[in-house]
Structure 1
Amino acid sequence: MLNPVWIQTFATVAAARSFTDAGRQLGLSQSSVSEHIRRLEENVGRRLFVRDTHSLAMTPDGEALLVHARLILQALARAESQFSAPRLQGRVRLGTSDDLAQGPLPKVLAAFRNSHPDVELEITIGMTGKLYELMDAGTLDLMIGKRRDGERRGVPLFHGALEWLAVPGTVADLSRPLPLILVNEPSVTRAVVLDTLAKAGVQWRIVCSSSSHSGCVAAARGGLGLTVRARDLAGRGLVPPVNADSLPALPQVEFISLAARRLSRPAETLLRLLQKSDLRGSRLDD
């Protein structure tokens, strides 16, 4: 077994190129440094340094071990940092659109929970428009969703191109009003879709409305009509119509994170994690 103390001594000697200087940095005698290196060499069964009275050089095996030593020491430092820091406590009120909630967001929340088990998460899932209202009312600490038209607040997370979706084999009949399945107002996606169709001069009719994207996906899977989602968050079991190229091209939408002006440490920690994570889901067509 590789003793972390020996590994630390080895890495320090490799950087200092001197047993004496390494001992000074570690607060050890030169004989102790030599003993650590000797026992490490015995443990790995390889010579790590070539020494004479005037110089110290690493062997190829020493160079190879140094790569692993640095990774080991970095992992130990991260572990010590996590468990020596005060545990976060409190509550975070997070709002998310349901299309993001159905993507990799649960994995991000699980990672946060594992690192900070004493923090209570209060999650609100709703249409982005409603989440903006809750943010403005001060009932959410954070929200992630689509950027509302004309909105300048928020930090971009990613862009997603909207696409038409239906059950496999669907051919959109452009000689008749398109049967649409859309979320209720207020909805960024609904506004974008209807504006695009109006500009293209394409007629439509709403055959089904839902309070959630998951409801729209369910209706579309039932064959009621066409729905729309960001390509990276496409609905399970749905694909673009056979003649999708004949339909008006839909624009990209921007997904953002938005935070209250004053955040608790738990909320700041979750916000940083969300902004570093890739919240785009993988496409699931089965």
Structure 2
Amino acid sequence: MLNLDPYLLRAFISVAEVGTVNGAALSLHRTQAAVSMQIRKLEGLVGSDLFERSPKGLTLTADGLLLVPYAREILTLTDEVGKRLNGRQIEGRIRLGVVEDFAATRLIDILRDFRDKNARVDIDILVDSNARLAAMLENDELDIAVCDTSRCSRKPVHVWNEYLHWVGRTDIEFMPDMPLPVIMFVESCPWRGPAMATLATRNRNWRIVCEASTLVAMATAVRVGIGIGPMIAATIPEGCRALDRSIDMPGSARVDIGLYVRSGAREESRFLVDFVLRQVELGHA
């Protein structure tokens, strides 16, 4: 019978998220030697290596990746049993920063379900630019951040791969001999570069007719019919459609959105991160 000690599993999950034993030790308030010993003990119990070691840090092996969702579930059940037996609920306050495109789509259902189960946890939600969110996380002004991975120096605990599609009003038409009217993100946005790169994939002239600084601005400009703009699928507004399947339209651009947690974050923040990751692993996010 395999007995997996939650104490060892917490060390394993922390190392998997942070990518280094030293970083995990700081997060867990333990010594580096203690965390290293716990990982070696867990690997001995399961009979295989869970991490590949390199000068850049640790990465999960195939067996490590397999263990992650089970470890999270075991830890969640352990925590919930303990709280029920002790008559205690998670409580506190979380400072959450989210890029606008995710605040308006993916996170709504997750946060609703989390609040339904954890009514004593208050959540401050800040919607801002990718650069601003990354800076606030680095300065410990946020507990959790969801932003573009190109703007954050630390390792995300999860990455969503999204695609920017060129979107226009359903009835919009383009003359073949006229430049494409393009609605573009402002220069400070990390998605501007990938979006503009797709314009070079088609032998067609284009010009920027509008710059949008927010999702609301982009959606408004597209719905008005000013031109076509890059948007992730979940944010395409009513009355509009993705155009990049057309042979003479530019293709989609990939952007990576990371879920980050502050080092040394409090219990309620870690609980929300684990909740989000479980939803991802269950295919609900």
State the TM-score, normalizing by the size of structure 1.
Answer: 0.62
Q: CA deviation at 1:229?
A: 1.3
How do residues 66-145 of structure 1 correspond to structure 2 at under 5 angstroms?
Answer: 83-84=84-85, 86-145=88-147
Q: CA deviation at 1:124?
A: 0.7
How do residues 275-286 of structure 1 correspond to structure 2 at under 5 angstroms?
Answer: 275-278=277-280
State the TM-score, normalizing by the size of structure 2.
Answer: 0.62
Would the aligned equivalents of 1:172 and 1:241 in 2 still touch at CA under 8 Å?
Answer: no
Greater radius of gyration (CA) = 1
AA of the residue aligned to 1:84: L
Would the aligned equivalents of 1:207 and 1:224 in 2 still touch at CA under 8 Å?
Answer: yes
Deviations 1:185-222 (A, max 9, x none): 42122221123325767543332223311221111101
Q: CA deviation at 1:267?
A: 0.5
Q: CA deviation at 1:233?
A: 4.0
Q: CA deviation at 1:157?
A: 3.5
AA of the residue aligned to 1:263: A
Q: CA deviation at 1:143?
A: 0.9
Unaligned stretches of 5+ residues in structure 2: 1-77
SS, match of residue 106 in structure 1: helix
SS, match of residue 116 in structure 2: helix
AA of the residue aligned to 2:111: L
Identity of aligned residues (%): 21
Q: Distance in 1 between matches of 2:276 and 2:125?
A: 14
Matched, 1:214 2:207: no
Deviations 1:19-38 (A, max 9, x none): xxxxxxxxxxxxxxxxxxxx
SS, match of residue 265 in structure 2: coil
Would the aligned equivalents of 1:99 and 1:233 in 2 still touch at CA under 8 Å?
Answer: yes
Q: Distance in 1 between matches of 2:124 and 2:242?
A: 35
Q: Distance in 1 between matches of 2:243 and 2:208?
A: 18
Evaluate the alpha carbon distance shift between residue 185 and residue 82 of structure 1 in structure 2; reply closer, same or farther with a 3 A threshold: farther
CA RMSD, 1 decimal: 3.2
SS, match of residue 214 in structure 1: helix
1:204 pairs with one of 196, 203, 206? 206
How do residues 18-29 of structure 1 correspond to structure 2 at under 5 angstroms?
Answer: none
Q: CA deviation at 1:268?
A: 0.4
Q: CA deviation at 1:155?
A: 2.9
Would the aligned equivalents of 1:96 and 1:131 in 2 still touch at CA under 8 Å?
Answer: yes
> Which residue in 2 is equivalent to 1:268?
270
How do residues 173-184 of structure 1 correspond to structure 2 at under 5 angstroms?
Answer: 173=175, 175-184=177-186
Evaluate the alpha carbon distance shift between residue 228 and residue 267 of structure 1 in structure 2; reply closer, same or farther with a 3 A threshold: same
Would the aligned equivalents of 2:168 and 2:240 in 1 still touch at CA under 8 Å?
Answer: yes
> Which residue in 1 is equivalent to 2:239?
237
Q: Distance in 1 between matches of 2:244 and 2:263?
A: 47
AA of the residue aligned to 2:194: V
Would the aligned equivalents of 1:156 and 1:254 in 2 still touch at CA under 8 Å?
Answer: no
AA of the residue aligned to 1:197: L
> Which residue in 2 is equivalent to 1:58?
none
Deviations 1:24-77 (A, max 9, x none): xxxxxxxxxxxxxxxxxxxxxxxxxxxxxxxxxxxxxxxxxxxxxxxxxxxxx9
1:192 pairs with one of 191, 194, 200? 194
How do residues 3-82 of structure 1 correspond to structure 2 at under 5 angstroms?
Answer: none
Q: Distance in 1 between matches of 2:263 and 2:243?
A: 44
SS, match of residue 268 in structure 1: helix
Q: CA deviation at 1:151?
A: 5.5
Q: Distance in 2 between matches of 1:150 and 1:132?
A: 5
Q: Distance in 1 between matches of 2:199 and 2:224?
A: 23
Would the aligned equivalents of 2:131 and 2:151 in 1 still touch at CA under 8 Å?
Answer: no
